[in-house]
Structure 1
Amino acid sequence: MKDQQLHIAWGSLMALSLGSTLLSQPGIWALWPVAAGVGALVLAWLKARIVLSRYLGLAAAPSWQRGFEISLALFCLLLLGLYLLPHYPG
């Protein structure tokens, strides 16, 4: 991997981690618990995609990357459903 790509991936991970940190503030969870939970899950999903594609080198193997991304997306959708289930009125 080129150094520039590594730096971009690292910077992206830092920005996403900052977003996760901001979402974890007690005031955010008190005002918008569902939105904060969904946002935290989306940020974690984006960070996992960066780690898989850049640091593990799956960008060089598109078929493997696609398989991992589909598995990761299905897992995140399962987690999202389990998180939203108690918030569902009914």
Structure 2
Amino acid sequence: MDVWAENLLADGAGRLTGLIDWDRACWGDPEIEFAVLDYCGISEPSFWEGYGSVWGRSPEAEIRRVFYLLYRCKSTSSSGGSGGMIRNSLDR
């Protein structure tokens, strides 16, 4: 649940070469990461065009992603997070 730009390594051409900061790594549902991408506003259509063709999103996976997104929003609001960020996430 910690995949974001600060934890990605890339070469000079912009190709992904590594992932660092594994303190929140877990064996679990990939939809957790997708929900975090949505929450942070970095889940672009081009991502789904590339990744989605390999993954294939089912209606059940979409339900889980929304659940994880709502959980993230609740956690953030409980800890004083930005209402605007939460609103933008839910609007996606």
TM over 0.5: no
Q: Which of the pair has more CA radius of gyration? A: 1
| TM-score (ref. length: structure 1) | 0.34
More strand by share: 2
